[in-house]
Chain A
């Protein structure tokens, strides 16, 4: 079956703009988590969604938001982009929160100029 799909794979935005990233989980998976990866901070947890509800949130400013749809697909949005938001954004899915194994997508590489 298909893995976790993230779109787009690459994105270039200008400071001050906003961006929306999409994640389609593995079929049947209902839990989706988002992570930001930068060279300086490494992999950091952003938030987790299950059954269209945010269950957990990392330590990021309110400019970072997300949502989950009834088909379990998830989007994350970053408003008023800053240069420091340049990162690889990774999405992971599992059947339920806390499942043994989380399956990661290949990520969206966001560059803010």
Chain B
């Protein structure tokens, strides 16, 4: 079973920041938080991951609370092409396998 809880859907205005929350209250010390997204009719795409520090890359920022029980993915200037289902996944640091356990995700709709 997925170890994360996300809102089913969210809306965001184009050009504004999209803040997608994720609850992972049972996360253990040796688990990363990963984010993937799936645009309609495509395979999932990796966005970002983190352990306990905030992370930023060219796509997004990841803010992890100090107790690591929740996190927020931030798309700083959402565009229509960011409309997708966003998945928050917890994954062991020392996992030697490629298995990803997806939850139901958040369907983000970016509106003009």
Contact = CB atoms under 8 A, between A and B. Distances in A.
Contacts, number: 61
B98 A43 contact: no
Contacts of B112: none
Interface string B68-112: 000000000000000000010000000111111111110000000
Given A100-B46, A101-B46, A92 B98 contact: yes
Contact of B98 (A44, A48, A106): A48
A77 interface: no
A92 B43 contact: yes
Interface in A42-98: 42-45, 48, 50, 55-56, 58, 90-92, 94, 97-98
Given A42-B102, A42-B104, A100-B49, A90 B43 contact: yes
Contacts of A35: 100, 102
Interface residues of B, number: 19
Nearest to A107: B43
A98 B98 contact: yes
B105 to A, nearest CB: 8
A27 B105 CA distance: 30
Interface residues of A, number: 28
Interface of B: 41-46, 49, 87, 95-105
13 contacts: A33-B100, A42-B102, A43-B102, A45-B99, A45-B101, A48-B99, A58-B99, A90-B43, A98-B98, A102-B100, A104-B42, A104-B44, A104-B45
Given A45-B100, A56-B98, A102-B100, 8 more contacts: A33-B100, A42-B104, A44-B102, A56-B99, A92-B98, A101-B46, A106-B41, A106-B42
